[in-house]
Structure 1
Amino acid sequence: MAAPGSAADTSAKANVTALNCISLSEPNIQKSISLLKQACLDSGFFYVIDHGISQEFMDEVFFQSRKFFDLPLHKKMELFRNDKLRGYTPIADQTLDPKNQVQGDFKEGYFIGVEVHEDDPDTKKPFYAPNQWPSEDILPGWRRVLEQYHKEALRVSRAILKIIALTLDLDADYFDKPEMLGEPLATLKLLHYEGKISDPQRGIYACGAHSDFGFIALLATDDVTGLQICKDKDAQPRIWEDVAPLKGGFIVNIGDLLERLTNDVFRSTLHRVVLDGRERYSIPFFVAPKPECVVECLPSCASEMNPPKKVSFCRNQLLLGINRLFSVVKINLILI
């Protein structure tokens, strides 16, 4: 294990980064394509606004999230996450940067995936299952609100991936294939960060440095600053920049799978959460293809100067990446 903070900057303080902002109601699609492509080449992070989810509904989602995390711990532990990645994850359940962390992330969460009926044959697959839901007696209306938000976040994700497809000289519907967004692994996670001060030099983080695995991730957050990104993950020491919250908008980042699809033209970006002692609530939404999807270099991303990488992703690599991100179980790696 590396010394805590050895790959981090010497201070938790960071400059605020400037991110491109993409409006989903922008009539000039070429403007959106240009802004999004620049963002994917520069940092892999950007804002999305005008997405069609009202502020009133977003406020309700955050209200319901707080109601769950306000429950006594024993009530939350009754819904402890299962091996299909559904349910509650307590404080320090994840350690996303074990080389630099001395203890787990100071956050608790709740996973909600695509709802699959218990009699559906798909339940035999990894990560396909019914969700765990608090009872209506404890949290009335909670399931209805969160299921609606899952549906809306997936709709927004599909709209963003249409623009990404256009930046890659593909048809806008390229990612709508059955093995991709037709049956995606779309996972919503409610997060609550304790009011504990982060100390990178001592290896203490609200959330350790990591990149997200799938296609893209949408992040809705409150007004507490804490998210930081490192645009060059190979730099030593790493240089971290703050990402300012954007009320009414999403912070969106591309994941490792999209990096692989684009032959490393677009790069996934390390990010972490460093807090000053204030509580923080956020809601990430992760979008990945179904496990059967084979991911290989897009034709538009290969050239004589940048030939396709020799290793492609297969089903078990997809599962391994998801497990790496969510720290649940281990699955063997098979290359094709």
Structure 2
Amino acid sequence: MPQPDSPAPEFAVPVVDISAYVGDGTDEERAAVAEALDTACATVGFVQIIGHGIPDDIWNGLGEASDAFFNKTLDEKKEYLAPGNRGYSPPKSESLSLSLGVESSSRMNDFFEAFNVGVEARSFPGLGLSEDDYGLNVWPDIDAFRAKVEAYYGEASRVARTLTGVFADALGLEHDFFAALTDHSIDVLRMNNYALPEGTVTLDGDLTGMGEHTDYGLVTVLWADQVAGLQVLGTDGIWHDVSPIDGALLINLGDLTARLTNDRWMSTLHRVKPPIVDGTIKRRRSVAFFHDGNLDAVIETLPSHLDADDGLAYEPILVRDHIKAKLAGSRQGKANTAAVREAARVLAAKG
């Protein structure tokens, strides 16, 4: 007789301990980590990592620096507006859904505010790189702000590069495969603040914290509060709430890694909904380190993955062109018409 349908598995973001790669793990221990990460990347695209080795004082210092900046008045924060992907972004100055070419109900309506720093072209002397592609940092006049942010930036960079080594092992590549794609990577640290002063907004269902989007590069390392708001689109087409466990970093893949693996590893769609508690928006903080790759690198599907996705493959793309198109959507209001696969997933979920 027919058997009843099995209930769908409960959505969960896997937890992977990467301490074997941070310390002196054995070959067997590292192989187990690589296998666990491969499974997480192929089934969810988000993963929580523990054993990352970031000291508590650096972890806590980042939160202190973020609070010190975002507690300033809007006029004070606007003193640090900067061209390109640097400096301060006020609320409702971006629309992340446009990086996918998806029109939101109200353009440029993401209410988060952000502050960006990152690597500069002059960090790589002799390569003839342009600051137009990277950007020059601006630093707030806040005691110890720069020191605390740079300390965490260094740790996040180390974690991201540790992860690309695990990625290479998981994909059966040379362990240093990603080095040639990232030796002058355009890395950016973005501090996000989700809060609005009381009485300034009507929660009419239109306002969003951060619109649905995929990240642009290879991998994102996310430090986040355990405050509701972050949602991930599962393979079931449903948006699921995500919150990190104590001491964990959230890791998600970017578009370029999905391209390398022809979508066997997923650049998972995510968004941030207004964290509403008792009818008001509760403050939520996150800090994302984007490891995006060299702007002059060409990303193309790995030969081992050409048969994935029913034999279809992405066209090779220059990292510079991909990042430019995505940023033009999120920060300049120009819909990115190249993000066909990602946009289709968003629209299917909305339906």
TM-score, normalised by the number of residues in structure 1:
0.83
Shift of 1:118: 9.6
Matched, 1:131 2:137: yes
Matched, 1:185 2:186: yes
Is the partner of 1:63 in helix, strand or coil? helix
Matched, 1:107 2:90: no
Q: Any conservation in 2 of the 1:263–1:301 contact (CA below 8 Å)?
A: yes
Cα distance in 2 for residues equivalent to 1:190 and 1:161: 23
Tell me the amino acid that sits aligned with residue 52 of structure 1: G
Cα distance in 1 for residues equivalent to 2:137 and 2:309: 46
Cα distance in 1 for residues equivalent to 2:59 and 2:331: 28
Shift of 1:64: 0.7
Residue in 1 aligned with 2:94? 94
Q: Any conservation in 2 of the 1:227–1:272 contact (CA below 8 Å)?
A: yes
Cα distance in 1 for residues equivalent to 2:88 and 2:334: 19
What do the CA deviations read for 1:16-69 (whole angstroms, capped 9, x no partner)?
831211212133112211211111111100011111111222111111110001
My pick for the range that moved more, 212-221 or 23-32, is: 23-32
Shift of 1:318: 2.4
Cα distance in 2 for residues equivalent to 1:301 and 1:119: 33
Residue in 1 aligned with 2:242? 243
Q: 1:310 to 1:110 in 2, by over 3 A?
A: closer
Q: 1:308 to 1:157 in 2, by over 3 A?
A: same
What is the 5 A alignment of 1:239-318? 239-274=238-273, 275-276=275-276, 277-303=281-307, 306-307=310-311, 309=313, 311-318=315-322
Q: 1:131 to 1:111 in 2, by over 3 A?
A: same
Q: 1:315 to 1:284 in 2, by over 3 A?
A: closer
Q: Any conservation in 1 of the 2:118–2:187 contact (CA below 8 Å)?
A: yes
Cα distance in 2 for residues equivalent to 1:255 and 1:212: 5
Cα distance in 1 for residues equivalent to 2:48 and 2:227: 16
My pick for the range that moved more, 23-32 or 113-122, is: 113-122
Q: Any conservation in 1 of the 2:16–2:50 contact (CA below 8 Å)?
A: yes
Shift of 1:304: 8.6
Find the partner of 1:215 among 215, 218, 236. Answer: 218
Q: Percent identity?
A: 29
Shift of 1:125: 4.7
What do the CA deviations read for 1:117-142 (whole angstroms, capped 9, x no partner)?
4996756353323311113xxx1211
Cα distance in 2 for residues equivalent to 1:230 and 1:333: 21
Residue in 2 aligned with 1:52? 53
Cα distance in 1 for residues equivalent to 2:10 and 2:87: 34
Cα distance in 1 for residues equivalent to 2:145 and 2:175: 35
Cα distance in 2 for residues equivalent to 1:126 and 1:200: 38
What do the CA deviations read for 1:260-318 (whole angstroms, capped 9, x no partner)?
11112112111011121211011011111121000111122123985462621125532
Q: Any conservation in 2 of the 1:89–1:109 contact (CA below 8 Å)?
A: yes
Cα distance in 2 for residues equivalent to 1:70 and 1:304: 48
Is the partner of 1:174 in helix, strand or coil? coil
My pick for the range that moved more, 304-313 or 56-65, is: 304-313
Shift of 1:322: 4.2
Residue in 2 aligned with 1:146? 149
Cα distance in 2 for residues equivalent to 1:170 and 1:256: 19
Cα distance in 2 for residues equivalent to 1:315 and 1:160: 19
Residue in 2 aligned with 1:61? 62
Q: 1:125 to 1:38 in 2, by over 3 A?
A: same
Cα distance in 2 for residues equivalent to 1:126 and 1:72: 29
Residue in 1 aligned with 2:5? none
Q: 1:326 to 1:144 in 2, by over 3 A?
A: farther
Tell me the amino acid that sits aligned with residue 242 of structure 2: V
Q: Any conservation in 2 of the 1:224–1:245 contact (CA below 8 Å)?
A: no
Shift of 1:329: 8.3
Gaps of 5+ in 2: 1-8, 339-351
Residue in 1 aligned with 2:3? none
In angstroms, what is the RMSD of aligned CA positions?
A: 3.0
Tell me the amino acid that sits aligned with residue 246 of structure 1: I
Shift of 1:111: 0.6
Cα distance in 2 for residues equivalent to 1:316 and 1:118: 18
What is the 5 A alignment of 1:194-233? 194-195=195-196, 202-232=205-235
Tell me the amino acid that sits aligned with residue 221 of structure 2: L
Shift of 1:332: 10
What is the 5 A alignment of 1:75-86? 75-83=76-84, 85-86=85-86
Shift of 1:200: 9.7
What do the CA deviations read for 1:80-134 (whole angstroms, capped 9, x no partner)?
0312x11000011111125234251111100111144499675635332331111
